[in-house]
Amino acid sequence: MYNINANMSLMRLIESWATTENPFNSTEEILSWINEKNKDVNVEIKKIPYDYTGENWHYDPEKGEIRNKAGSFFQIKGLQKTIDGEVVHEQPIIIQNEIGYLGIICKEFDGVLYFLMQAKIEPGNVNKIQISPTIQATKSNFMQAHGGKVPAYLKYFSNKHNYEIIVDQIQSEQSSRFLGKRNRNIIIVVDDEIEVLESHKWMTLGQIKYFMSYDNLVNMDTRTVISCIPFSLRDFSYKELSHIRSLFKKEVFYNSVFFGNSGSEINKIYQYMNEIKMLDRSEIRLVDLYSLDSWHKKDDEISSKNGAFKVVYCDIEIEGREVRKWQQPLFEATGQSTFGLIYCIDNNVQKFLIQTKSEVGCFDKIEIGPSVQLEPGDNPNSTLVDALFTYNLEHNKGVEFSGLFSEEGGRFYQEQNRNVIMQIQKSDLPDPLPDGYFWADFQTLNILIQFNNCLNIQLRNLLSILNI
């Protein structure tokens, strides 16, 4: 149904997407603000030996897990994937059975929607401060389970029903590291007078997209929230569409957003995924962390010869956080992952190559992932798609974007991954595509992202890069 208020907000969001001029905070001023904060803030993070026998973080032999004294925050257990009773994969896994807030406040000034963004440090960040959502808080944070301060701006999200809600989705985290972990991605539009703290600034969506061209500047949580904006879910009038078209530089992308063929593709994708959910014989079981045969505990890490990551322990001190000094385990990648989104132009429509992806921590067994999702140790030529992507990347063929993005620094130690958007000719791949791969326009993906636990974090991050 045509909704004037909803259409107006989406129109303002699209205009914000097309706007990089900011009379409140220019792009140069925001970059300078981040640089000054990085110079001024005191951050001390170091890996230290730990045998998990201390009073705070410790190994609990009865539960077979690493946990803190209160049993809150998160736990690390052992996970095994079995097929017909045989173990085919095992690893440590993060258990965090709570849903936190990843929330952004928007407000209209002079006909443009601005996003209230935060300069935030996470302990595992490779570069200290990154541009983060207005609020980024676990349930433990906002329930003050660790004795810290109430997160700033929490009251707006606690009273969210008093405001216009643009996005409200429960979305998954990294399913290769977390077991069923999800967060509430939410964007609200407020009319209230808002006190802007020194840690926050108003930015247009166009500025946020621009900042993604800088390595590790926009954090993972910002990327996932803005990827959920439902651009394709409104019936705009001819006059509105004419104005929107004038804002897009690429007609093929405009067509992909507003004139896609979502119905038939969604049916094909869901049929394929439902077959896997129904017929897959694999099972996931939690076991004692120290019972994993291929993982070994050392003085300074828990690691495996073929593991894509290891568990390390860190001593952390960061000024300005809810809690300033603490220790905790973090997952450290053993190399750099590569995530790629391939697209082609088909009948004047930009279409993206996606694949179904099953990971050990998936909330519902399988999600939709990007064209390429290679973790450390994976064979870059294991599939036809991976081989084509790897060759083109090595020869800089069709590469439209290539940048380093950090993973979530609250659980991962200085992990940064290569994210790539690449154009190919549709004829470069066979028709039909290899099993589990699909071509989908932006409209299809934008509709699917409105369903919880459908598109994985890697694909959502890549979609957030796309610019008007």
Model pLDDT for residues 385-440, shown as the tens digit of each residue: 999 999 999 999 999 999 999 999 999 999 999 999 999 999 999 999 999 999 99
* Residue-level pLDDT at 6: 63
* Residue-level pLDDT at 3: 45
* Residue-level pLDDT at 229: 97
* Residue-level pLDDT at 5: 60
* Residue-level pLDDT at 43: 86
Q: Are strands 100-109 and 182-189 parallel, antiparallel or unpaired?
A: parallel
Residue 36: inside a domain, yes or no?
A: no
Structural domain including 423 reads 254-282+335-465
Residue 315: inside a domain, yes or no?
A: no
Residue 302: inside a domain, yes or no?
A: no
Residue 115: inside a domain, yes or no?
A: no
Query: Tokens 């200085």 correspond to what residue?
Result: 414
Which secondary-structure segment (H or E) carries 280?
none
Residue 358: inside a domain, yes or no?
A: yes
- What is the rounded CA–CA span in Å between residue 215 and residue 372? 20
Ranges in the chain, pLDDT < 50: 1-4
* Residue-level pLDDT at 4: 43
Residue 235: inside a domain, yes or no?
A: no
* Residue-level pLDDT at 138: 77
* Residue-level pLDDT at 143: 62
Mean pLDDT of the chain: 93
Please report, for the domain that includes residue 373, its CATH number. 3.90.79.40
- Tally of domains within the chain: 1
* Residue-level pLDDT at 233: 84
Model pTM score: 0.95
Residue 62: inside a domain, yes or no?
A: no
First to last CA, the chain: 26
Reference 466, options 422, 409, 410, 411; nearest CA is 422
Query: Tokens 């994210």 correspond to what residue?
Result: 419
